[in-house]
Amino acid sequence: MAHRKVNMNNPREKLLDVAFNEIYHNGYSATSIDKILKQASMNKGSMYHFFKSKKELGLAVVNEKINSYIEDKYGVLLKYEENICDEILKLIKNRNNFDFTCGCKLNNLMQELSPVDNDFKIALEKVYLRFENIIEEVLNKAIQKGEIKHNDSKALSMYVVASIEGCLGTAKKSQDGNCFQTCISQLELFINSLK
């Protein structure tokens, strides 16, 4: 299992990077502060300088790292002015470096923490809604340019994001990227039917 590169220059960023990796690979509940600190080669005093608790650290992971992941991955779609649906599909289908064993960074935490902690629910929902908003903005552009015919880009964006997350969950269930490709091909057929 490949771990992300850790930022060694900024102690707070280093701690966030390590926590992000550990939580992604093990889940929030199974990740201990001691393991995060050991991986970061830091002591508890260093952590408490930046974060008062594991929960505060976890919320920072959501608000900063997972939010940035979604912005970086899907925000690039906002620059396209033509062939918008093709670019959406190309991005969605490209999962070359995706870890189908661990699944989606956002959805994993939504499944684990939203039902049991309101602070995490609010933070995760904010990131999830931003994901939907990016897709909605891109679909609005495709509709305005006549690339697709649809009258409710908000509902369509919810469907597209739910489909992506569902396909990622299906692949995680089977630990198989081919399941993702098979599943996402149905979303591709649907989007192409709107052209």
pLDDT > 80? residue 130: yes
In a domain, 120, yes or no: yes
Domain CATH code at residue 142: 1.10.357
What value does the mean pLDDT take over residues 105-126?
Answer: 96
In a domain, 155, yes or no: yes
Q: Is the pTM of this model over 0.85?
A: yes
In a domain, 32, yes or no: no
In a domain, 91, yes or no: yes
Q: Check residue 8 and give its pLDDT.
A: 59
pLDDT > 90? residue 4: no
Triad 168, 172, 175: Cα angle to 5°: 130
What tens digit of pLDDT does each residue of 51-86 get? 999 999 999 999 999 999 999 999 999 999 999 999
Range from 1-15, 62-76, 121-135 carrying the lowest mean pLDDT: 1-15
Count of structural domains, the chain: 1
Q: Check residue 46 and give its pLDDT.
A: 87
Structural domain boundaries enclosing 76? 59-193
In a domain, 43, yes or no: no
pLDDT > 50? residue 1: no
Spatial distance between the Cα atoms of 64 and 134, rounded to a whole number of angstroms: 17
Q: Check residue 7 and give its pLDDT.
A: 54
Query: What does the DSSP 8-state code read for residue 76?
Result: G
Q: Are 168 and 180 in contact (CB under 8 A)?
A: yes
pLDDT > 70? residue 128: yes
Q: Are 37 and 134 in contact (CB under 8 A)?
A: no
